[in-house]
Amino acid sequence: MSSVVYAQCGDEAEALERRFLELLPVIQGIVSFLARRYYLHGCDLEDFSSDVFVKLIEDDYAVLRKFRRSSSVKTYLTVTIARLLIDRTNREWGRWRPSAEARRNGRVAVLLEKLVVRDSYTFEEACETLMTNHHVSLSRVELERLFGRLPARSRRRFESLDTLTDLPASTGQPDSAIVCRDGRTAAARLISLLSEAMRSLPAQERLILKMRFEDGLTIAAIAAALRLDSRKLYSRIERLHARLRTALMSRGIGVDDVDLFLAHGEAD
Amino acid sequence: MIRLPAGTCTDAERLAQYADGRLEHPDCAEVETHLERCSACRDVLMAVTAFAQRERGRISSSAVDSHRYEEAIASLAPGERTVLLARYEHVLGFEEIARTLGMDTHGARALFASAVMKLRVRLARH
């Protein structure tokens, strides 16, 4: 490598380091915003901040070097840092996902559900953890009310063979297995028809339905993320709902089943 | 249009472009197709949107939706708009902005101050 190239490399490295230092307050702002959003405190927050700095500095500031300036640098850094945090959360929380109702009720509800459903804490223990470790300022009564709104979910866990042998059948009456199997077949058919109906929709409409019915996001939140007018979005979702309803009914699904299924999708 | 290999996430800058509203069809539709299938990228998009809303709120001291914010920015004089975006979106120093626009640092600072003031007044009017 010639001395000119060395000099250029040195210049680039210096320029990137200068840029990193300029962006440091922005990076710190993003880290603390995301930490609040995902309830990171103490050691977890320190670990996450270190991960962020390592990621941004490693490979001679590769993250900054790859930036083509086609978006705002703040948005680019927020995407990069949010991805780090979400990967970390997924690693720690596993494949468990909060219910739509918990997401609708905000991050305290998600955290409460995580503690009770995923980590098998009692409600009392969960309240204590929320107040002590996560600095949640809601009163016990408010937390109780919040907990009451969450759907009843059970957690999968390993049990010994002896426990399983003595466990009563969860299916109840002997013929309930057949009823249940019929119900599952009907639900599977409904889901397959719904997927087929959704495939015919444009990408943005499928995304809107996913955000509304699967992620349980509010119309205002979807409108902000997709840069749409929230009033128009409301009627657009109504139209999409009606369209799916018609598509399912035209394939022989009864009106009650369709309404029950779509209403369930909206609730959770 | 860059096609995404199956199973890979949209690259960070492309998702940032989408969040900033800077992607046109069909690139926009491709990102939306990916978002529909990838809950992790949807979570990232929601976090980015929330952060952008907070940043806009810092300028106007109240929550502002992206439409209103962009309208207010578009109504600024071209020089003010350039300096404001260079400072807020690209986080550039006044020396660099001045060098790029061929003016002195004092002029860049003055344009920025006037842009922020106008933006605040216009957003407060809503």
Supply A23's token pair. Answer: 């962006």
Contacts of A150 (CB under 8 A, 6+ apart): A99, A101, A102, A105, A109, A112, A113
Winning range, highest mean pLDDT, from A118-122, A180-184, A263-267, B12-16: B12-16
Q: How far is B114 from chain A (nearest CA, A)?
A: 21
Residue with tokens 């978002």: B35
Q: Is A79 in contact with B46 (Cβ distance < 8 A)?
A: no
pLDDT classification of A176: cutoffs 50, 70, 90: low
- Compute the distance between CA of residue A71 and CA of residue A50 in angstroms, rounded to an integer: 25
DSSP 8-state secondary structure symbol assigned to residue A179: H
Report pLDDT digits (tens) over A179-223: 555 666 767 777 778 788 888 889 999 999 888 887 878 888 899
Report pLDDT digits (tens) over A136-174: 888 888 888 888 888 776 544 545 555 555 555 555 555
Task: Report the pLDDT value the prediction gives residue A226, as an integer from 0 to 100.
Answer: 93
Q: Minimal Cα distance from B30: which residue of A?
A: A203
A79-107 as b/e, with b when 16 or more CB fall inside 10 Å?
Answer: bbbbbbbbebbeeeeeeebbbbbbbbbeb
Q: Is A86 in contact with B43 (Cβ distance < 8 A)?
A: yes
Q: Minimal Cα distance from A80: which residue of B?
A: B12
pTM across the whole model: 0.72
Task: Report the pLDDT value the prediction gives residue A123, as an integer from 0 to 100.
Answer: 87
User: Which strand (E) or helix (H) includes residue A48?
Assistant: helix A42-66
User: Which strand (E) or helix (H) includes residue B113?
Assistant: helix B105-125
pLDDT classification of B49: cutoffs 50, 70, 90: very high
Q: Minimal Cα distance from A29: which residue of B?
A: B51
DSSP A111-170: HHHIIIIIS---HHHHHHHHHHHS-----HHHHHHHHHHSPP--------HHHHHHSPPT
Report pLDDT digits (tens) over A2-26: 444 445 566 888 889 999 999 999 9
- Compute the distance between CA of residue A40 and CA of residue A49 in angstroms, rounded to an integer: 10
Confirm or reject contact between B58 and chain A (CB < 8 A). Answer: no
Pick from B19, B30, B91: CB nearest A26: B91
Rounded mean pLDDT of A126-140? 84
Rounded mean pLDDT of A36-52? 86
Rounded mean pLDDT of A93-112? 76
Confirm or reject contact between B20 and chain A (CB < 8 A). Answer: yes
- For chain A, what is the mean pLDDT? 80
User: Which strand (E) or helix (H) includes residue A71?
Assistant: none
- The answer to whether residues A79 and A55 touch, using CB atoms and an 8 Å cutoff, is no
Pick from B42, B50, B67: CB nearest A215: B42
Angle between helices B105-125 and B66-74 (to 10 degrees): 130
Q: Is B16 in contact with A75 (Cβ distance < 8 A)?
A: yes
The phi, psi pair for A113, rounded to 5°, reads -65, -40
- The answer to whether residues A48 and A85 touch, using CB atoms and an 8 Å cutoff, is yes
- The answer to whether residues A70 and B17 touch, using CB atoms and an 8 Å cutoff, is yes
For chain B, report the end-to-end CA distance as a whole number of angstroms. Answer: 38
Task: Report the pLDDT value the prediction gives residue A168, as an integer from 0 to 100.
Answer: 55
Q: How far is A25 from chain B (nearest CA, A)?
A: 10
Q: Minimal Cα distance from A33: which residue of B?
A: B51
Angle between helices A255-267 and A176-199 (to 10 degrees): 80
- Compute the distance between CA of residue B59 and CA of residue B49 in angstroms, rounded to an integer: 16
Q: Which of B2, B11, B13, B56 to mutate to test the interface with A (most CBs of A within 10 A)?
A: B13
pLDDT at A1 over 50: no
Rounded mean pLDDT of A28-49? 87
Contacts of A217 in chain B (CB under 8 A): 46
pLDDT at A88 over 60: yes
pLDDT at A177 over 90: no
Supply A103's token pair. Answer: 């997401």
- Compute the distance between CA of residue A208 and CA of residue A212 in angstroms, rounded to an integer: 6
Pick from B16, B44, B65: CB nearest A71: B16
Q: Which of A78, A89, A208, A214 to mutate to test the interface with B (most CBs of B within 10 A)?
A: A78
Higher-confidence residue of B20 and A91: namely B20
Task: Report the pLDDT value the prediction gives residue A241, as an integer from 0 to 100.
Answer: 85
pLDDT at A30 over 80: yes
Pick from A30, A72, A207: CB nearest B89: A72
Please write down the HEC assignment for all residues of B9-36: CCCHHHHHHHHCCCCCCCHHHHHHHHHH
DSSP A192-226: HHHHHHHHTS-HHHHHHHIIIIIS---HHHHHHHH
pLDDT classification of B122: cutoffs 50, 70, 90: confident
For chain A, report the end-to-end CA distance as a whole number of angstroms. Answer: 61
